[in-house]
A and B are shown apart, each in its own frame.
Chain A
Amino acid sequence: MELNRRNFVKMLIGGAAGLQFTPLPWKLTDDIAIWTQNWSWLPVPQAGEFTLEKSVCTLCPGGCGIEVRKVDGRAVKIEGRTDYPVNPGGICPIGMGGLQLLYNKSIRFTGPMKRVGPRGSGIFKDISWEEASRMLTARISDLRKNGKPESVAAIDGNPGRSTMAMMVERFIKAIGSPNYIRIPSIEDTYRMSNIIMQGTEGPMAYDLENSDYVLSFGCGLLEGWGAPGRVFNAWGNWHEKSQKKNIRIVQVESRASNTASKADRWVAPRPGTEAALALGLAGVIIEKRLYDDEFINYNTFGFHDWKTADGTNHTGFKTMVLKNYSPAQTAEITGITPDRIISLAMDFIKAGAPIAIYGKGKGTLNGSLYECMAVQTLNALAGNINMPGGVIIHDPLPLNPLPAIKADAVTRRGLNRPRIDQAGSKRYPFSNSLVNNLTEAILKDSESPVDTLLVFSSNPAFTLPDHGRFEKALKKVPFIVSFSPFRDETANMADLILPDHTCLEKTNDIVWPTGLQYPMYGLARPVVEPVYDTRNMGDVIIGLAKRIGETTGASFPWESFEEVVKTRVMGLYNSGGGIVDYDGSAPAWKQQKQRGIIDQGYASFNDMWKKIKSGGMWYRPVHTYKNREGLFKTPTGKFEFFSTQVETAVYEYSKQVSRNKALKAFGIKEKGDMAFMPHYNPESAGKKETAYPLLMVPYEIINLCSNWIPGPPFLNKTLFDNELRGNDSFAEINPATASEYGLKENDRVIIKSQVGEIKVRISLFDGAMPGIVYVPSGFGHTAYDEFLKGKGVNPNDIIQAGKDPLSGQPVWWNTQVQLIKV
């Protein structure tokens, strides 16, 4: 056929028509879609058998029940457990994103390592567990041989009463060092407040769910305080529209946090004046004689004025409060109008079951001791101590104590040395750890008193206020060992890494979730095989002790950490009356109030142990309310408005110096009887400095990790673009304050304190108190990977931490700053 124009066109048309009858174009279009969408680098998740594993989240001391969905052994999703009494169904966003912490190789240590780069560079070399253990134990044995076991110190961030914390403490003591130092948390403030006012060792137990008026002083109920799953669940129930409940939540806080915004009432005193507000409310209640007469007269000490045997007149709480904290005086201090103070006090005391609770944000760091005590006086005035819906007094969980450690001469001598941080000494009689003092002690001398520092479950180089000083101290410590599973800031300073498992890989316990109103023991179990070459810190400690041998080894007769846990849990069995399962039909807080008889549901210890291991819980919702006989274990046997223990402590210390000097050493400004009662210390509201006219207050939010855990990257999706944009984080200031400084939204500023400076952007926030700069905690990591490193700034960089009176713990909630526009 001749190829001319006509034929060519014919062929084209014929071909085009013919194509319509072949599947080729359709097949090709389909294939193109498939080819362009299936790249070898796109992951294809493998299918497999679906299984569910129940456990407990140990990312924070809340200990919520979790269920992990697995596919062919791989964990693919974490969900809340509905069959767990603490958090029926819900968990917080951090727990929800926990799998990213499990698998993300670039933020974890994949095995034991030793440092090869300069300190802080994060350059390590893989070594074997054998070599790592040998390195550490050889060093400790040498120190013991040279008679200096006390130069080993530990910094521990495991929750206070947990078995893991007990193991760390035991290990340090068995070596012969008294220097077991804990990271400060709100639990310390609760513990000291309970000891001073009530003489009780049990945890703070707030019966929120049975209360009908919750007056929260700074407690970040919706920011992640306590067991977030529990508080959130209660919040949902309080706001259930179908049930006609009249429950009111009042938040006392200077910034419109989520809790303050969502509460029924928001009261915004100047930060640091919360104690004055609490006492002002107490004053109104006392003046109007609305307090619980019976409780005050029979169960308290120091309320009325009294005369001691030697004829000295003492001022009671009543006189002190009426004299110093009238509505007008309180208004002057706090900035809340007298009318509001009176109406708030009346609402509180007239409620059926009011409760005043204390906290600072999530409770990651400590609070102010006198402030906590001032809040507790409101509960005493309302007579709601050990009452449903009030503050419940429990004994500590009946776990078996571990046998006393074996001590040879070296150990005994070491243990007799004074603690480096002076906690528990005559100067700090109520504190059990003061990490800020440790920092100062290391910095003070030319040679660090600590030779070997062991760091467990904590990241003080990031979380401590004024961590710059702490890092400086770290540089002076000759040998640092980190047990962290994560490549955090502190671990990057370490010489040796013995990485722990992450939360989903290990056995670990939660001894009484923070703030819970009934005794509760949670047991987390490994839900996945260890992903990397890490080991349970508890097992590693046992191994190290055995390797050191002598009495140190003899103090650890167990084969595994689980065996230790089992030994302790035996105490729960012996105490009787606990439950090891939860079906959701009656919440534990309801059971406790209804005082039903409980069926413990296990036959023998082995049966119970098996059930605790699989179910992860033991709890006992039975309690004797009202009974106040022998409840308070203070020297007077009563709830003490006037603390005889503080008085004695000051007296004891004044044997060395004068009384005034003793008070000054304790950080107490008041001279008279007021010093021994909860009172407001003007310094806690910040000193006036003309060069630094503004106050910086750090704040926590639920979807940002401000503790030692790295934030799961999923959380980055939840941050607003006026919280983080690119690598800039924001400071919130009131539009009025901003206009004073000529600042607009998004402007870049330097926040400068006497310690240092940080660069942020400005977010205009109506919920910010004028004159205050609010900076979120949790940004500004210098460690980890692209999801966290270099994002935003850490307010801890520039916090000038003062000392809280009496407790000696850091005051981190106010720093005088100035703003410089960039």
Chain B
Amino acid sequence: MEEEHGHGNKYGMVIDLDKCTGCGTCMVACAAENNLSVRPDESDKQHSITWMSLYKISNGKKFPDTEYSYFPRPCMHCNHHTPCVSVCPATATKIDFNTGIVSQIYARCIGCRYCMAACPYHARSFNWWDGYFPKGKGLERYLSPEVSPRMRGVVEKCSFCHHRLMRAKTKAYTENRRELEENEYITACAEACPVQAITFGDLNNPEHKVSKLAKSPYAFRLLERLGTEPKVYYLSTKDWVRKFADNYLPGEFKPVTSPKG
């Protein structure tokens, strides 16, 4: 097996936290696109399922200098030593070196939740129950055939809307193309974000907006020092926001000074 990829695509995402308003449209778009089931009690965050989560952070100052910001968090699709992939005993989660997407194959998953323990980002959720679609309520009528509803006992997570890649590729092939245009394949959250905070594209393609944004001096990733090379980048001009990305010892955090970009 190819260990690292140099060629091929490396899909990734850049989320501008200065733009993000914490409205949650990405979460709803994701849930609607990927047939996430909603249980009667979603406030139990240990058992509820979200592929895209939102974290609210505060600058910790007192009123009236308090400021809040948000971190939308999909699966990071770690590119290096992908923690979940390396621990899965059932090969139910894999990284595709042609796309960079970390997949989750429900039919293979044995529900051991080792991947959940391994994931540094809490990006994975376990189905403690079958999807909640009570008979006669009609909730199953809006389910999309592109994503299979999950059953109890399996782990699920963000797939970078892999089915959208399939859809875009199929369309390209019928038009006799082998390469996708920049915005032909984007995730549901990126498409839905009403402030255009999420940019999606190929990090290997220098022409794509994501690869330019990822090079911004304001760009950073979560827990970067673990060396997992997440493919989700964040942008923020605010030091206090960037500081949340990792656990820094006193004096360790380096603020961005006189950025070039």
Asked whether A and B interact, the reply is yes
- Spell out A's residues near B (CB within 8 Å): 33-34, 36-39, 41-48, 69, 71, 74-80, 87, 89-93, 96-97, 99-100, 102-106, 222, 228-229, 232-233, 235-236, 239-241, 256, 258, 261-262, 266, 268, 531, 702-703, 712-721, 724-726, 734, 736, 766-770, 785-787
Assess whether B143 is in contact with A42, with CB atoms less than 8 Å apart. Answer: no
Contacts of B112 in A (CB 8 A): none
Interface majority SS (helix, strand, loop, mixed), chain B: loop
Chain A minimum-CB-distance residue to B19: A239
Shortest Cβ gap from B126 to chain A (Å): 14
Assess whether B149 is in contact with A42, with CB atoms less than 8 Å apart. Answer: yes
Assess whether A97 is in contact with B216, with CB atoms less than 8 Å apart. Answer: no
Say yes or no for B180: interface residue by CB 8 A criterion. Answer: no
Assess whether A100 is in contact with B194, with CB atoms less than 8 Å apart. Answer: no
Assess whether B27 is in contact with A239, with CB atoms less than 8 Å apart. Answer: no
Chain A minimum-CB-distance residue to B195: A236
Assess whether A100 is in contact with B24, with CB atoms less than 8 Å apart. Answer: no
- A39-B130, A90-B193, A766-B58 known; A34 and B151 CB under 8 Å? no
Assess whether A96 is in contact with B43, with CB atoms less than 8 Å apart. Answer: no
Assembly CA distance A241 to B149 (angstroms)? 39
Say yes or no for B254: interface residue by CB 8 A criterion. Answer: no
Nearest 3 Cβ contacts at the A-B interface: A90-B194, A718-B24, A232-B194
Say yes or no for B96: interface residue by CB 8 A criterion. Answer: no
Assembly CA distance A268 to B56 (angstroms)? 21
Assess whether A268 is in contact with B196, with CB atoms less than 8 Å apart. Answer: no
Shortest Cβ gap from B156 to chain A (Å): 13
Contacts of A39 in B (CB 8 A): 130, 151
Contacts of A78 in B (CB 8 A): 32
- A261-B68, A716-B42 known; A766 and B61 CB under 8 Å? yes
Pick the residue among A100, A233, A256 that contacts B195 (CB under 8 A): A233
Assembly CA distance A261 to B131 (angstroms)? 36
Assess whether B19 is in contact with A236, with CB atoms less than 8 Å apart. Answer: yes
Say yes or no for B153: interface residue by CB 8 A criterion. Answer: yes
Chain B minimum-CB-distance residue to A766: B66
CB under 8 Å from chain A, chain B span 54-92: 54, 56, 58, 60-64, 66-69
| B196-234 contact mask (Cβ, 8 Å, vs A): 1 or 0 | 110000000000000000001010000000000000000
Contacts of B35 in A (CB 8 A): 45
Assess whether A80 is in contact with B68, with CB atoms less than 8 Å apart. Answer: no
Say yes or no for B135: interface residue by CB 8 A criterion. Answer: yes
Pick the residue among A34, A103, A104, A719 that contacts B43 (CB under 8 A): A719
Assess whether B63 is in contact with A92, with CB atoms less than 8 Å apart. Answer: no
Assess whether B28 is in contact with A93, with CB atoms less than 8 Å apart. Answer: yes
- A37-B106, A89-B196, A766-B61 known; A99 and B142 CB under 8 Å? yes
Assess whether A258 is in contact with B68, with CB atoms less than 8 Å apart. Answer: yes
Assembly CA distance A721 to B56 (angstroms)? 11
Assess whether A725 is in contact with B43, with CB atoms less than 8 Å apart. Answer: yes
Assess whether A258 is in contact with B62, with CB atoms less than 8 Å apart. Answer: no
| B40-52 contact mask (Cβ, 8 Å, vs A): 1 or 0 | 1111110010100
Known: A256-B66, A717-B42. 11 other contacts (CB 8 A): A41-B135, A42-B133, A45-B143, A77-B144, A79-B191, A236-B197, A258-B21, A531-B141, A717-B50, A718-B28, A766-B66
Assess whether A34 is in contact with B142, with CB atoms less than 8 Å apart. Answer: no
Say yes or no for B140: interface residue by CB 8 A criterion. Answer: yes
Assess whether A716 is in contact with B61, with CB atoms less than 8 Å apart. Answer: no
Contacts of B66 in A (CB 8 A): 256, 261, 766-767
Contacts of B61 in A (CB 8 A): 766
Assess whether A90 is in contact with B25, with CB atoms less than 8 Å apart. Answer: yes
Most chain B CB inside 10 Å of its own CB: which residue of A47, A718, A787: A718
Say yes or no for B137: interface residue by CB 8 A criterion. Answer: yes
Assess whether B133 is in contact with A43, with CB atoms less than 8 Å apart. Answer: yes
CB under 8 Å from chain A, chain B span 130-175: 130-131, 133, 135-145, 148-149, 151, 153-154
Pick the residue among B63, B68, B138, B194 that contacts A734 (CB under 8 A): B63
Assess whether A42 is in contact with B151, with CB atoms less than 8 Å apart. Answer: yes
Assembly CA distance A106 to B36 (angstroms)? 19
Shortest Cβ gap from B130 to chain A (Å): 6
Assess whether A531 is in contact with B138, with CB atoms less than 8 Å apart. Answer: yes
Assembly CA distance A14 to B44 (angstroms)? 52
Shortest Cβ gap from B208 to chain A (Å): 14
| B1-44 contact mask (Cβ, 8 Å, vs A): 1 or 0 | 00000000000000010110111110111011101101011111
Assess whether A93 is in contact with B24, with CB atoms less than 8 Å apart. Answer: yes
